[in-house]
Structure 1
Amino acid sequence: MILECSQCGSRYEVPDSAIGPDGRTVRCANCKHSWFQSGASPAPAAPPPAPAAALAPEPEPAPLPPRSFAAAEPVPEPSYDPFDEPAPKQRSGIRWTIAALVALVSVLLGGAALLYWKAPQVLTQLGLPIGGANAQLVFSEKNVALQARTDGSKLFIVSGKVLNDSATAQHVPDIRIQLLDGERREVYSWRITPPVRTLEPKAGFDFNGAKVDVPSGAKSVKLSFVSEFDG
């Protein structure tokens, strides 16, 4: 039993037997206040447990009626031409988008491989001639990349370096980037204005150009020089 003084709030833990069922007068050892403490009321006896009800036996399940089985009919052999091509399966929107993206990346990687060689004569054989106003200017360190933007569009980037491979200063025209299909026809093109118009001997500069959502039919990339005065 816990006793608490109403004057100073001191608390004491005493056994129930020290108070008794009839109670008694106690005094606080801290402030000397006295009061009558009633005894603890006996806890009510727990009721006896109710007898468990007898479980009724579960009824037996009714027998199932006999089933009649119809005679199995032979399945006819399918009639088809073994050399006939099956109809193409319908692709879901997500699979079609992924397949188109993979195809576009393959095209861009192929374009990057075509732009990798630095020798002018190899570029000419591959259909990537320097051409234009000055054959002394050489493209090098070319690179093609495809980047996904946050709005879901694709950014097509072409970068590289222009070198003056001659012993004299050269005029630098605009740089034209052409995307060609499998039959070498142009599907898209744009121009890059060089940072300088006069390039000293053995000097060079970096360039880069980017476009959003270029046509997906491109199979190769061609770089060339074009006069800044041409339309």
Structure 2
Amino acid sequence: MIDGSALGAGGRTVRCGACGHSWHQMPEAAAPAEPAAAFEPAGAPPPAAPAEPALAPAQVPPPPIAPPPPADEKPRRGRRRALAEAEGAAGAMPRRRGLTRVLVWFLFVFVVAALVLGGYRYRNDVVRIWPPAMKLYELLKIDTDPPSGIGLRVPPETLRFNREAEGGMPILVVSGEILNESTAAQRITPMRILLLDKDNRVLRTELVKFEDRTLEPGKRMPFRTSIPNAPPEAAAARITFNLTGG
């Protein structure tokens, strides 16, 4: 190996000692020197970072709402139970309404049946208490015993209306005949005498009771009664019979 300093800057011819070959040899280029490090004074503070420009306050978005925690199994079970109870109650309402309707109809039928059966069984008592019911029984072809007083009347031609004096006191005497026009014997019920004025307005009512007497069909019975202190305006009388026997 040939020393580079012996070749010189422009090189020289050299010969191989072994084979005798010769050639022109140039020196190898020197490696470039490394640049010296820049001098930094000891203790110098590092350069300050440039200040960032102030930013306008930005609108801070609200924090996201956390999703509700998963429902517990007990509340879910309670809701299912409440829903089932509500559905059961809704289904029970029509059943309750239907049951109420059936009970109302049953009560209505029971009342009607009781009225019909009672009205038939106690028809004579019904007629005695309320004589107009006799016409209803006649329309229904149901036989009844006529109440006392049915068929009793005082024929107008037998009625007498006179003013007299008794013991020095003026009295009004009403007399006539009671006729039984029915086909059955009738107990003579209390007779009601209505004193009328000339305009047929009722001035006074007198109730005349008879002893327990019975009048056969078609028979007559005379009667005479005195009414003291009769109104002087009394000009006529109308007679009815208390069919209820009171």
Same fold flag (TM > 0.5): no
> What TM-score, normalized to structure 1?
0.37
> What TM-score, normalized to structure 2?
0.35
Q: Which protein has the bigger strand share?
A: 1
Q: Which protein has the bigger helix share?
A: 2
